[in-house]
Amino acid sequence: MRLLHTMLRVGDLDRSIGFYTDVLGMKLLRRKDYPDGKFTLAFVGYGDESDHAVIELTHNWDTKSYDLGNGFGHIAVAVPDAYKACDAVRARGGKVTREAGPMKFGGSVIAFVEDPDGYKIEFIQKG
């Protein structure tokens, strides 16, 4: 078994694709409209779905936003330098919600950014 994807419901698909590709550097792997169901699926990631876990962005055509609730936490991404990754996100118009620095009660350097729908992405410095 392996993890295939994480699904996020998004209000504006093009805005979300732009964030994940332009700000976080992922690739749009595939996108398909389902007119009978009135939704579109787009898959983004750092590598091909055959080898990597990816993110499925689901856009229901008649829903502009979602209540994120309090059950979902975040998606984590390994980065070589969390400080530089935050600078790059800001330079591309993204929102940093927790600056890079040591994790409280631990030694890892982490940071958090937020996508256009409010989902949190954690950067964990590796290497």
Please tell me which residue in 49, 56, 99, 122 is annotated as part of the active site: 122
Q: How many angstroms separate the CA atoms of 111 and 97, rounded?
A: 8
Closest CA to 54 of 8, 22, 23: 8
- What are the angstrom distances between the C-alpha of 37 and each of 34, 51, 58, 69, 83? 5, 29, 12, 24, 42
Catalytic residue status for 114: no
Vertex 82: Cα angle to 25 and 89 (nearest 5):
45
Tell me which DSSP letter residue 20 carries.
I
Q: Return the active site residues.
A: 122
